[in-house]
Amino acid sequence: MPVTPMRWAALAAALVATFAVSLIAGAAVRQMVDSRATAPPVADGLATPTSAPIATPTPSSTPTPTPIATSTRTSTPTPAPTPASTPTAAPTTTPTPPPTASPTPVAPSAPTPTPGELDPPTAEDFAEELSAAIRDSDEAYLNERLHPEVITRYGAEQCADWITSDIAGDDIRWEVRSSSGPQEWDYASDDLSTVIADAWILDALQAQADPPERELHFAPSEGTWRWFTDCGEPV
C-alpha cells in the first residue's frame, strides 16, 4: 500500500505516544526505586527494628601501668671483691718437755783459741790430768797449774801448804757431763771477787762426794790450762 501523508502523521503520533508512555513509566519506576531505597530494610517480611545504640564504656581514669620490658640478656653476677690477705698468725708451738732419761755426756770442747797450743788441748783433758795429779800427789803439777789470780789472792806459799795438807792424795775422779766457754765467770771467795773473761765451766759428777754434782772452773794462761781453788785466808 502506498504511504500517504495521513499514514506518516499517524505513525508519528504513535511514536510520540509511545515515547510519552515510556517517559511516564520510567518516572514511575524511578519513584518506586527511590522510595524503596529510603524505606527501612525488611528481612523475611519483618521490619528490622532499629536497635538502640550500645553505650561504649568509658575507659577508667586510672592509667594502665605499662609493663616494663624484661631484658632477655642473662645477668652475670658481679664477683665479690677478694678481701686483702690477712696475715696468718704463726701457730703456737707447745714446748716438748725434756726427756727424763739420763743425760748423754757431751763431746769434748774445742781448744780455746789462744796464741800457741794449749796443754792439754781441751778443758775436759785438763780435768782428767788434774784429777790424776791429785790422786798421785803430784804437788809440782798442782802448784804450777794454779791460775795467777789464785796466787795473787792467797799467795804461793799458803797455796803450796794447802795442796800438801788438804788436796794431794785424795781419790778424786770426775765424770764430765758438759762444758761451756770461753765466757765471763766471777772468781768469788772470802768476800773477794775477780771477773775471769775467758773461763770454761764444766759440770761433772764426783763419786762418793756429797752432793756428787760439781762445777769445775778452768781458764788458759801462758799456753796451759789453770785451775781455781780457795787456799785459806787472803793475803
CB 191 within 8 A of CB 157: no
According to the model, what pLDDT value does residue 10 have?
A: 75
According to the model, what pLDDT value does residue 13 have?
A: 78
CA-to-CA distance for 210 and 169, rounded, in angstroms? 19
According to the model, what pLDDT value does residue 104 have?
A: 45
According to the model, what pLDDT value does residue 117 have?
A: 78
Closest CA to 127 of 209, 215, 210, 213: 215
According to the model, what pLDDT value does residue 24 have?
A: 77
Give per-10-residue mean pLDDT for the chain (235 aa). 67 76 70 55 40 42 43 45 49 56 44 61 96 97 97 97 95 94 96 96 91 95 96 95
Ordered by where they begin, the domains of the chain are: 123-227 (3.10.450)
What cell numbers appear for 84 in the block? 686483702
CB 216 within 8 A of CB 202: yes
According to the model, what pLDDT value does residue 223 have?
A: 93
pTM of the model: 0.51
